[in-house]
Amino acid sequence: MSNPSDKTDTVPSAKVVQDGKLGGDTPKAAATAPARQPYKRKLGNFMLDKKLQLRYVLLVTALSALISGSLGYLIYHQRHAASASINKDLEALSLNDSAFSDVQSQVASDNAHDDRMLVYKMAGVGVGLVIILSAYLVIMTHKVAGPLFKVSMYFDRMAEGRVGTVYGLRKGDMLQDFFGNFKEMHEAVRTRMQSDVITMESATVALRAKLGDNAALDAMDKHLAQRKKNLL
């Protein structure tokens, strides 16, 4: 009669998960895999979430244009009122002395020219301010939309069963604390899945030692191979 302890000796011991990797399960190709290339930022990548970013950009741009236009109108109104007062005084002088007529015409022409130039300058400054502010808002909203886009990407991968390594945010991105919490959650899920794979693999080896070739165990091997691939 066989000793029961002889059967238990066929069950392999559980493997220890170290640094988020399965011992002996890493493919050889992974050891010689090329280094991760640095991310090259493109102009179009600044608009990751157009609906979110454009909403705030357009709102702030409209408010800045309204404020700039109001201040510009007040400045022009004061300048135009001063020019009109000067022209009126010169007209009064030219009525008493015809020698002031040429002076009055020249001053009136200069004042009109200066008023127009003031309008052009304020319009140019206003347009430049709106462009600079809009570009700044696109960059700042990108620092928020980028992390949200990255988290949503990892959520999509998790929905497909893929729980590979989570890479950190870029330097200067916002929501660092939020992303850190998400990364800890992701690593906890990944560690549990690794433990499940180790347990199922040990059980499969033990069953194969008892049953030999078996279609169900072959299917389990394929399933475990896919699970390991999803962990990379």
Digitized pLDDT (tens) for each residue of the chain, 232 residues in all: 444 444 444 444 444 444 444 444 444 444 444 455 554 555 556 777 777 788 888 888 888 888 888 888 888 888 888 888 887 877 776 776 666 677 777 877 888 888 888 888 888 888 888 888 888 888 888 888 888 888 999 999 888 888 888 888 888 888 889 999 999 999 999 999 888 888 888 888 888 888 888 888 888 888 888 888 888 7
How many whole angstroms from its chain centre is CA 32? 31
Kindly give, in sequence order, each residue whose CB lies less than 8 Å from that of residue 182, ignoring residues fewer than 6 positions away.
Answer: 151, 154, 166
Going by C-alpha positions, the residue among 63, 43, 46 that lies closest to residue 139 is 46
Residue 210 phi/psi, 5° resolution? -90, -40
SS3 of residue 128 by DSSP: helix
Radius of gyration in angstroms for the set of CA atoms belonging to the chain, rounded to a whole number: 37
Q: What is the pLDDT of residue 101?
A: 72
Q: What is the pLDDT of residue 30?
A: 40
Q: What is the pLDDT of residue 183?
A: 92
Side chain identity, residue 174: M
DSSP assignment of 139-180 equals HHHHHHHHHHHHHHHHHHHHHTT---PPPPPPTT-S-HHHHH
Contact between 47 and 137 (Cβ < 8 Å): no
Entry pTM: 0.53
Q: What is the DSSP letter of 46?
A: G
Contact between 159 and 181 (Cβ < 8 Å): no
Burial 5-21 (b: 16+ CB within 10 A, else e): eeeeeeeeeebeeeeee
Going by C-alpha positions, the residue among 41, 33, 195, 60 that lies closest to residue 131 is 60
* Distances from the Cα of 180 to the Cα of 167, 170, 193, angstroms: 10, 13, 20
